[in-house]
Amino acid sequence: MSGSESTTGNHLPQLRSIRIPGDGRCLFRSVVHGACLRAGKPSPSESIQKELADELRSKVADEFIRRRTDTEWFLEGDFDTYVKQIRKPQAWGGEPELLMCSHVLRMPITVYMSTDSSDGLKIIAEYGQEYGKENPIRVLYHGYGHYDALQMPLTKTKSKWYMKS
């Protein structure tokens, strides 16, 4: 599906998958890629994406510590060990990290997964709804520990480009 547009079910907009390197940072890279697009900035280069992903990872670890009483119960194993581990660039992120990303960025994040049906994609999780529901950061979870970014196609109007909603 990489690089091609796919139709999504339940009246979801058409989304284009943007391939993200599988270097342990894919969740964070996908989120920062989506945050740049959401802010109207150009897609970050791979080196900028890596730098922003590592910065977001650090802020996410700090957010876990700030929200320890709210998050400790749903993390696997010892809290301090978990936070120390998630600071490492090769450590994979998952649902807890997506939740913390939404708080750090103060933006909604929607996670999609491919389906075998003609629908193409389905929403499997939404985070940060308290920051609004319009134009969320969109990521694609492949089900085997990898995330890619999803982009809405641009639509041209009479005088400007805008993100189709």
Whose tokens are 């109207």? That residue is: 40
- Give the pLDDT confidence of 45-85 residue by residue, as tens digits: 999 999 999 999 999 999 999 999 999 998 989 999 999 99
Report the predicted TM-score, pTM, of the whole model to 2 decimal places: 0.83
What structural domains and CATH numbers belong to the chain? Answer: 5-163 (3.90.70.80)
In angstroms, how far is the first alpha carbon of the chain from the final one? 21
User: Residue 104, Cα to own-chain centre: how many angstroms?
Assistant: 12
**Across the chain, what does the average pLDDT equal?**
85
Active-site residues, by number, are 23, 26, 146
